[in-house]
Amino acid sequence: MLETQAPNRFSIFHRGPSKGPDFEAWREGICRGFCRLDVGPADQDYIDCHNEFAQVNSIAVATPKGGSARFARTRDLLTDGCDDLVLISATRGTVRVTQRNKAIGLTVGQMCLTEMNVVGAADLTRSGGFTTARFPRRLLLQVAPMAETQLARPLGHDHTAGDGFAGILAHCAWFSASSLLSLSRTLFKVKPTRALPPSRDSHPPVFPSLPPHPPGSGRIVGQSPANR
């Protein structure tokens, strides 16, 4: 059983060109906070992204906010042997996720379970935002044995489970590993649904906004006392 504990939390951000020391420091912070990723711009050659991270036990939660960033697992990175599963939840607009040669479109309220041991990417753009949770494969399969049958496809979810998971992911709130796993177990009991185009009348759920980050670029703006 996983014990509840306060997560390690920190945030980093970068607004500017996708080159230079600030950009490299931001990329390095993402790899340290979540996993090894090839990070670059989603639009032109400019990064606009503020990342919040939280980790408890072996589960990592990451929330990117902004208008331009692409997070990818490239073929070169697959040599690290990581086969974790990552649940991506669309919280704003339309989000494009790729796994191998397959593109998955997610709208607000939909999720997609992806693998770290295949080539893939997720784009943060002005028209779409998302949140993620990374689970060790063995751990997630212990509580949701059928999860691998729902890889790389849009997932529906009931209102209660969705609100709980989205709230945790969107804000990197103080959470327990057991609460995330409980919500995952509920989620993977639901059958996959087809991705639908966004409705003009649909609106994303309203959550309290994150505190504003200070001016600057590529800096760690918050960290748990244990890791200072």
CA dihedral for 126, 128, 133, 135, sign (positive or negative): negative
- Residues in the chain, overall count: 228
Mean pLDDT of 174-200: 51
Q: What's residue 193's pLDDT?
A: 44
pLDDT in tens, 121-148: 999 999 999 999 999 999 888 888 888 9
Range of the domain at 45: 8-196
Domain membership flag for residue 187: yes
Mean pLDDT of 19-37: 93
C-alpha–C-alpha distance, residues 226 and 224, integer Å:
5
Helices (H), 154-200: 159-171, 177-187
**What does the CA dihedral 164, 166, 169, 173 come to, rounded to 10 degrees?**
-50
Domain membership flag for residue 205: no
Domain membership flag for residue 210: no
Report the phi/psi class of residue 93: left, alpha or beta, with left for phi > 0 and alpha for psi in -120 to 50.
Answer: left
Domain membership flag for residue 219: no
CATH number at residue 131: 2.60.120.10
pLDDT at residue 178 is higher than 90: no
Closest CA to 67 of 125, 154, 138: 125
Mean pLDDT taken over the chain? 76
Q: What's residue 206's pLDDT?
A: 31
**How many independent structural domains does the chain possess?**
1
Tokens of 56: 């408890």
Domain membership flag for residue 222: no
Greater pLDDT, 36 or 160? 36
Greater pLDDT, 93 or 58? 93
For residue 35, the 8-state DSSP code is: -
> What number of other Cβ atoms are within 10 A of residue 184's Cβ?
23
